[in-house]
Amino acid sequence: MRKINKIFVGALWALTVSGVTTSCSSDNNDDLNTIQTDAETLTDEQALALADNALFEYYHKAFGLSFIVETFTSKTHSFEGPESADGPLISRHELTPTNVYFVNRWYNKNSAISNANEAIEKITAANVSEQTKKVAIARAKLARALGYHVLVRLWGEVPLYTSTDGDTKTRASIDDIYTQIVKDLEEAAEGLPETGNLPSVPTKAAAYGLLSRVYLDWGSNPLTYDQVNAIKDQTKDPTPSYTSSRLEKAIEYANKVTGYSLNSSFASIWGKDNEAAKDEKILTFVHDGDAVGTGNHQVHCSWTFGFNVDQENHLSPAQDSFLAAWDKADTRRNVSYIDSLYDSLGDSLVLFRAPRTLPRYGKFVDHGSEGPNECYKLNDLDRVELRYAEVLLNKAEALVLLGRADEAKEPINLIRQRAYGDNAHNLSSVTFDDVKREWGLEFVYEQKEWFNLARWKEVIKDLESVKNNEYFDDSYAIAGNIGRNGQVVNEFFAKTYKHLHAKYENRQGKYYRFPIPVGKSGESLGISPQNPGY
């Protein structure tokens, strides 16, 4: 008998089979917070709650994903706790199957898949209205597709199971996994409503936008186990290759996303006061926060100690030269990064700059009525899964790769016009490097960085680039020394030096995959072979 979180039930039906309105305040499924359901007694309301349990499991602990896809790049480091802690170990590229961020992400995404499988089976057999059945199953398939798309990009060939008694140990091929993801999203699109009253309501546009994302990844020919094994010890990226028919599908589905546009200003996307705005946000996930361990940790990890400059954030930029080089006319600059911010409680302008520290990631630091201090306590900014700017860049990238760069000017220039407030900075021609640069400017700290590098086959190139970081210089190796910038090196920058050198020294082809983790209790999952090099 399945237990369903009561938090899903009640508000859901008020949205007329349309909304995801869950709280992230608890991971417990005890009797006080659950109701009992069997397929034969399932009500319409409970069917929707059962489907949304899969979405809830997908996103409610998605915060740990940042430790993998942000920290495992040249741009971000983690000083979460002692150097032996799991965040700093990923930051230094010292990876093991027992790392909690791999364990939890594997468990979390597979739990979403398992919940989706159970929901689909029970709702299919239930005596509920056809409209409820259609929407609820569509939501469950969307959740399953989301879960598998994270798994296949991080771990490659993973077990593919679409039933409650499926095989959870045998690794399936990359193509089989992507085929299932596409099937789920296409079927989800058929069952989801055209529109929703909030961006947290899954719609057809969400499924189409995700299909554009998936086909771009699949069309960029993800590396197979054998291909990773062949380069696991090498310090050179593999040669990219593409499948044109899949890139065409990425464009096709991007064009199906209608009824959305870019927000008029980049700043208006972010903050508690803007969560319900849906011009650009196609799919978001609600985080109420609980001031303890859940909520949106894109907030918590980028603003861990608030205005305390001398405390080390869980996640932070690993350099500051990019900010100095970023065109100040680009409005994304001062939203994406914070190098100074007024503290109303202390009545002072706080500087996040060398020689004391580095800038903070800014998108999830609330500047609205709730403010950065209160919002941090609750971690209650919603997570943005998909926005229209991504759809435009998916399309632009696919067009360039297909040799249709002239057509890519329109989507990429829409983004640049919003960034600059005029068309004076429009591109007259578009190269692949232009597209990659725009991804970097538009999607800072949105859990895209490593995924993009892996798709572009530039994971090692990115790690080699740390040699150009100011704080890679040997003058920053020891606290108390005088750095190349003429300032006394503090512990923060000595640690930055250490992490940068570890990233550079540990650059290998095996890092196109992560280690298959152990289970939550440290047990073997029985999945073999392990990914190459681990």
Indicate the burial class of 66 (C-beta count within 10 angstroms; 0-12, 13-18, 19 or more): buried
Q: What is the pLDDT of residue 291?
A: 54
Q: What is the pLDDT of residue 36?
A: 52
pLDDT in tens, 58-103: 887 655 899 999 999 999 999 999 999 999 999 999 999 999 999 9
DSSP percent split of the chain into helix, strand, coil, nearest 5: 50, 5, 45
Q: What is the pLDDT of residue 5?
A: 40
pLDDT greater than 70 at residue 305 = yes
Q: What is the pLDDT of residue 31?
A: 32
Q: pLDDT category, 434, cuts 50, 70, 90?
A: very high
Structure tokens at 270: 């972010």
User: Mean pLDDT across the stretch 43-70?
Assistant: 87
Q: What is the pLDDT of residue 37?
A: 62
CB neighbours of residue 413 within 10 Å: 19
pLDDT in tens, 290-299: 555 567 888 8
Q: pLDDT category, 202, cuts 50, 70, 90?
A: very high
74-83, 187-196, 372-381, 438-447: least confidently modelled range:
372-381
Q: What is the pLDDT of residue 370?
A: 64
Calculate ∠ Cα 472-476-479, nearest 5°: 145
Structure tokens at 159: 């077990």
Nearest to 390 by CA among 422, 415, 416, 419: 415
Quote the mean pLDDT of the chain: 90
For residue 508, give every residue at least 6 positions away whose Cβ sits within 8 Å of its Cβ, in sequence order, or none. 232, 233, 234, 235, 460, 533
User: Mean pLDDT across the stretch 164-193?
Assistant: 98
Structure tokens at 412: 């990429």
Q: What is the pLDDT of residue 60?
A: 72
83-92, 107-116, 142-151, 277-286: least confidently modelled range:
277-286
Tell me, which fold does domain 38-191+515-533 have in CATH?
Answer: 1.25.40
pLDDT greater than 60 at residue 19 = no
Q: What is the pLDDT of residue 58?
A: 86
Instruction: Give percent of the chain with pLDDT exceeding 90.
Output: 80
pLDDT in tens, 230-257: 999 999 999 999 999 999 999 999 999 9
Structure tokens at 58: 């997908």
CB neighbours of residue 305 within 10 Å: 13
Q: Which residue has the tokens 């094994």?
A: 229
68-72, 373-377, 453-457: least confidently modelled range:
373-377
Q: pLDDT category, 1, cuts 50, 70, 90?
A: very low
pLDDT in tens, 396-433: 999 999 999 999 999 999 999 999 999 999 999 999 99
Q: What is the pLDDT of residue 270?
A: 95
Q: What is the pLDDT of residue 287?
A: 81
- Domain definitions of the chain by residue range: 38-191+515-533, 194-222+241-284+385-456, 302-373, 458-507
Nearest to 184 by CA among 153, 147, 151: 147
Q: What is the Cα–Cα distance from 479 to 501, expressed in whole angstroms?
A: 16
Rg (CA), the chain: 23
The more confidently predicted of residues 345 and 376 is 345
**Region of 347 on the Ramachandran plot (φ > 0 left; ψ -120 to 50 alpha; else beta):** left
Q: Is the Cα torsion angle 193, 197, 198, 199 positive or negative in sign? A: positive
Note the pTM of the prediction, 2 decimals: 0.92
pLDDT greater than 70 at residue 10 = no
> CA distances (Å), 288 to each of 169, 274, 292, in order?
35, 15, 12
Q: Which CATH number fits domain 194-222+241-284+385-456: 1.25.40.900, 3.40.190.10, 1.10.10.10, 2.30.30.240?
A: 1.25.40.900
pLDDT greater than 90 at residue 26 = no
Helix (H) or strand (E) holding 454, with range, is helix 449-456
Instruction: Estimate the crossing angle of helix 244-256 against helix 388-401, to 10 degrees.
Output: 150
Q: pLDDT category, 56, cuts 50, 70, 90?
A: confident
pLDDT in tens, 506-528: 999 999 999 999 999 999 999 99
Q: pLDDT category, 485, cuts 50, 70, 90?
A: very high
pLDDT greater than 80 at residue 213 = yes
Structure tokens at 291: 């001031």
Helices (H), 220-357: 225-231, 244-256, 297-302, 321-325, 333-336
Domains 38-191+515-533 and 194-222+241-284+385-456 share a fold: yes
344 CA to centre of own chain: 31
Q: What is the pLDDT of residue 369?
A: 67
Specify the DSSP class assigned to residue 172. Answer: P
Nearest to 275 by CA among 351, 358, 364: 364
Specify the DSSP class assigned to residue 171. Answer: B
DSSP letters for 206-243: HHHHHHHHHHHHHHT-PPPHHHHHHHTT-SSPPPP---
